[in-house]
Amino acid sequence: MANADFHGCPVRNVLDRIGDKWTTLILLRLSREPCRFSALRRQVPDISKRMLTLTLRNLERDGMISRTVFPTKPPSVEYALTPLGRSILGPLGALVLWADERFSEIRENRTRYDALEAG
């Protein structure tokens, strides 16, 4: 394992992006319909303008979303999932469902663990 190239590992590389704090929320929002920047910012709780911009750029760079600029005054921009972005929705949906179904159990385990650690 001393020579393992974790930065070149495809699984780790992709999961680093998908596991990002904001990526899942943005992909799930865009799964409903294309959305403009300002609407995304309103609909993704607690995300800063800078972090939304960075996350959208990374998703566009990866080919998961497309960016369309409309020639309005001022120009407006709309983001949409690409076929590659849509292809992650099945696995992502399964993970979201699992998290929703297991959250109570996980919360109880955390509470029990924290109580043991504190005392």
Q: What is the pLDDT of residue 113?
A: 96
pTM: 0.82
Q: What is the pLDDT of residue 103?
A: 96
**CB-based contacts of 56: which residues, under 8 Å, 6+ apart?**
26, 37, 40, 65, 67, 79
Q: What is the pLDDT of residue 1?
A: 47
How far apart CA 103 and CA 89 sit, in angstroms, is 20
Q: What is the pLDDT of residue 77?
A: 93
What is the mean pLDDT, run by run of 10 residues, along the chain of 119 residues?
A: 64 85 94 95 93 96 96 92 97 93 97 92
How far apart CA 72 and CA 6 sit, in angstroms, is 45
- Name the region of 91 (left: φ>0; alpha: ψ -120 to 50; beta: rest): alpha
